[in-house]
Chain A
Amino acid sequence: MSYKLQFAELLPYWNVLLYGLVFTIVLTIVSTVVGIAVGTAGAAARTFGPGWLGRIVAVYVELIRNTPFIVQLFFIFFGLPALGLKLSETTAAFLAMVINLGAYSTEIIRAGIEAVPKGHIEAGLSLAMSKWEVLRHIVLNQAFRKIYPALSSQIIIVMLGSAVVSQISAEDLTYAANYIASRNFRNFEVYLLVALAYLLLAMLTRSLLRALGRVIFKAR
């Protein structure tokens, strides 16, 4: 037990780490925004849309929720080229994240929509609003307020899970760690540092989301 920590050996790689960190942050933000948009559309289709569309969405959600993320990622990056769809590592990483979060958030948001009292929807319809106006102005706000904590947790899960994209050489934080360790063999220091970075990122994201929630849902 006399291992001597040598963090100085990571210094020459600071730019690699920084790039990885930024990549992970951008990947998380983009997949969160687009994924929730997909989730909202999916949830709307399942609750307010025509039955055939709801069934297609249900298949999508079940497919994603019952398979490992890494397999989804590999399918998109290694599998799709067989159909002539060749994506870059970065594009494949973003796409897989959006598809994954889209499915989970569809389920979360749908639960929120279903928790809105039916009477509120009927009140909106009775005021001559269309189904979609009711969804937009009455249902979604209440739904998001209700499921915001669950959705926040899912965003953190997805951010931590994004480490997997390093497996197709998308240059995220974990990819940076692998890259450095394979060159200076300081595995302990590198992975300790990167673990701390993820920890910090997760805690920061959580408090940011909490603050954001307070601003968005200030009214009661």
Chain B
Amino acid sequence: MSLVSIRDVRKSFGPNEVLKGVSLDIAKGDAVAIIGRSGSGKSTLLRCINGLETYQSGSIVADGIEVAGANTNLRELRRHVGMVFQQFNLFPHLTAAENVMLAPTVVNKVSKAEARATAAEVLAKVGLSEKMDAYPSELSGGQQQRVAIARSLAMRPKVLLCDEITSALDPELVNEVLRVVEQLAREGMTLILVTHEMRFARDVGTKLVFMHHGKVHEEGAPKEVFAAPRTPELQQFVGQVG
């Protein structure tokens, strides 16, 4: 039984077909790394999974909820599908703890005290216990991104979508974020990661997906796929970024 099941999804922006029949199955506990060239549709696919984008045909079922169903409650879906963005997107007028507490108090209606306890727990998990009361402007990029991860975790998602979450970081800050993601993977969190960090994809991913021209071009166990890419497109891609 897969936790996220994507069936022949097609998506166009105007005349530009960006997803050309994508199918993918993601089981509980998978850490799926999606790689591919710029414009191959990786972000679009991720955004379709939590309903930030709509798609024209096919189906996506996440945690038993049909994303584009006529009566789908996107709110319910998103309580189970978290997302972390390349640009952190912390709310600048709130402290780290308040950023984390906002959705639990507003959406789940838990008390401030309970939300603060959760915030303390998830911020400790990402190694930022001392920064609870810091504002985003007082944090480094790496710290901001870890707060953003903690903010998603506070909603106890079943799946976490990560779209190039280290791409906006200075090189020396990349590892502190990757370590957090690696720990989540080890703990069994289901992850779908769009990434340009090939080593990370190989070492931490349980499954590798290579997207090309709006399709899943090749997929498999990361170490095998990297060691012996079958398609010339992936061979070339791995050669370039490798």
Contact = CB atoms under 8 A, between A and B. Distances in A.
Query: Do A and B bind?
Result: yes
Interface string B4-36: 000000000000000000000000000000000
A4 interface: no
B113 to A, nearest CB: 19
Contacts of A50: none
Contact of A129 (B92, B107, B148): B107
Contacts of B152: 126-127
Interface string A136-171: 011001100100000000000000000000000000
Nearest to B103: A127
B137 A120 contact: no
Interface string B86-114: 01011111010000001100110000000
B93 A145 contact: yes
A145 B93 CA distance: 9
Contacts of A142: 91-93
A122 B106 CA distance: 16
A126 B93 contact: no
Interface string A114-144: 0001011011111111100100011001100
B226 interface: no
Contacts of B135: 219-220
A119 B92 CA distance: 12
Most buried by A among B76, B81, B92: B92
Contacts of A117: 87, 89
Interface string A200-217: 000000000000000000
Q: Is the interface of A mostly helix, strand, loop or mixed?
A: helix
Given A219-B93, A220-B137, A126 B106 contact: no
B103 A128 contact: yes
Nearest to A141: B93
A130 B155 CA distance: 15
Contacts of B148: 123
Contacts of B81: 126
Contact of B75 (A122, A130, A137, A145): A130
A129 B91 contact: no
Given A128-B79, A128-B107, A138 B91 contact: yes
Interface residues of A, number: 20
B82 interface: yes
A127 B102 contact: yes
Nearest to A121: B89
B85 interface: yes
Interface in B47-98: 50, 52, 74-76, 78-79, 81-83, 85, 87, 89-93, 95
B151 interface: yes
Nearest to B79: A128
Contacts of B52: 122, 125-126
B92 A128 contact: no
B65 to A, nearest CB: 12
A117 B91 CA distance: 10
A122 B84 CA distance: 10
A217 to B, nearest CB: 8
B107 A127 contact: yes
Nearest to B82: A126
Contacts of A119: 85, 87, 89
Contacts of B82: 126-127
Contacts of B50: 126
B60 to A, nearest CB: 15
Contacts of B95: 219
A127 B93 contact: no
Given A128-B75, A129-B103, 10 more contacts: A119-B85, A119-B87, A126-B78, A127-B103, A127-B152, A128-B155, A129-B107, A130-B75, A133-B106, A137-B102
Interface of A: 117, 119-120, 122-130, 133, 137-138, 141-142, 145, 219-220
24 contacts: A117-B87, A119-B85, A119-B89, A123-B85, A123-B91, A123-B148, A124-B103, A125-B74, A125-B78, A126-B50, A126-B52, A127-B102, A127-B151, A128-B76, A128-B79, A128-B155, A133-B107, A137-B91, A137-B102, A142-B91, A219-B93, A220-B92, A220-B135, A220-B137
